[in-house]
Amino acid sequence: MTLKVSDIGEKELIKYIIANSRSITPDDTAVTPLESSNLISTCDMLIQSRHFPQNMSYHDMGFKSVTVNVSDLAAMGAEPLGFLLSIAIPKDLEIDHFKQIVAGVLKACDFYNIPLIGGDTNESSEIIINGTALGLTDKPLMKDDYNKGDLIAITGEIGLAALGFELDVLDNIYVKKALKPEARIKEGLILRDYATSATDITDGLASELYTIKKDGMGFMIHEDMLNISDEYKRLSDELGLDYLDLILHVGEDFELLFTISKDNLDKLPIDCIVIGEVTDSDVVEMTLENGFVERIENRGYEHYVSE
């Protein structure tokens, strides 16, 4: 019985690639030193059947393909430089729908101030969009330069998209976050001068905490600091879902998760939500509303895993 990719999961595949390549330093993006700055480069592929909900417009597909890549630039505190678009579409796709996807891409490029500089078109059985985002920064914001005692914060509420994917109604903040997420590029540029580390939340807070965790260091998150609304708990409950599970283990938030010293937090000129602190416990845990402390499971959205 031969081993298949579904037996080991996406993260193991990535580890395999990294282990066999001398030049990958695992962070949100690649960092390539140039003369007086650093080239920041990242790519992300979106596949219609996996990444685009049924109720997502063609315009929003295009927009999101830029967002997911610019979000990684934001996580590094990079200034956008250019975007490359590889798009594969079915040959029976209507021209108007193709144009709407492109309009979404161009709208996002304009919104994030990242020029569309190149690309490629192809034919495939479903819509597949690969974006490459390039940026520059003289001071890349890495994912694990934090210290014990640093505070942990996020640039905005999380879990909204996760709930939005479960809802059919089009006109509420949850579905809006699910279909029209935005990257925190401006916040990333500011955090570069204040935060000790940062990453963007795409596979869920839990997953990202484990991604940035260093040996010997840990995180204590406080549920009562997450600002979870009563409405959120009620809607989750009505759907038969665990609200903490939605908040921690689904993702697609595109908020930045960052660490910051108490002193710098006082000076930080952007809004954020402080959710915990860096410890030397070597575990990732949460103090629940009821006071109990639980380990946060290392579980997030992962491709391939057999269902």
Nearer to a second copy, 96 or 238 (CB): 96
**Rounded Cα–Cα distance for residues 77 and 89 (Å):** 33
> Does residue 111 interact with a second copy by CB under 8 A?
no
Report the nearest approach of a second copy to the CB of residue 208 (Å).
Answer: 16
DSSP 282: S
SS3 for 110? helix
For a second copy, the binding residue among 56, 78, 79, 93 (CB under 8 A) is: 93
Nearer to a second copy, 6 or 147 (CB): 6
For a second copy, the binding residue among 53, 55, 106, 264 (CB under 8 A) is: 106
Tokens linked to 219: 């995180």
* Contacting a second copy within 250-279 (CB under 8 A): none
Nearer to a second copy, 26 or 149 (CB): 26
For a second copy, the binding residue among 7, 282, 294, 297 (CB under 8 A) is: 7
Report the nearest approach of a second copy to the CB of residue 303 (Å).
Answer: 4
* Contacting a second copy within 121-150 (CB under 8 A): 121-126, 128, 130, 132, 134, 136
Q: Strand pairing of 151-154 and 195-200?
A: unpaired
For a second copy, the binding residue among 53, 100, 116, 301 (CB under 8 A) is: 116
**Rounded Cα–Cα distance for residues 119 and 108 (Å):** 15
For 26, other C-beta atoms within 10 Å of its C-beta total: 12
Nearer to a second copy, 109 or 160 (CB): 109
* Contacting a second copy within 29-58 (CB under 8 A): 29-30, 32, 34-37, 39, 41-45, 47, 49-50
Q: How many residues does the chain have?
A: 307
> Does residue 120 interact with a second copy by CB under 8 A?
yes
Report the nearest approach of a second copy to the CB of residue 161 (Å).
Answer: 19
Tokens linked to 304: 């391939």
* Contacting a second copy within 186-245 (CB under 8 A): none
**Cα–Cα nearest to 202, from 132, 253, 143, 258:** 253
Burial of 63 (C-beta count, 10 Å sphere; 0-12/13-18/19+)? buried
User: CB within 8 A of 68, min separation 6: which ones?
Assistant: 44, 46, 131, 183, 202, 254
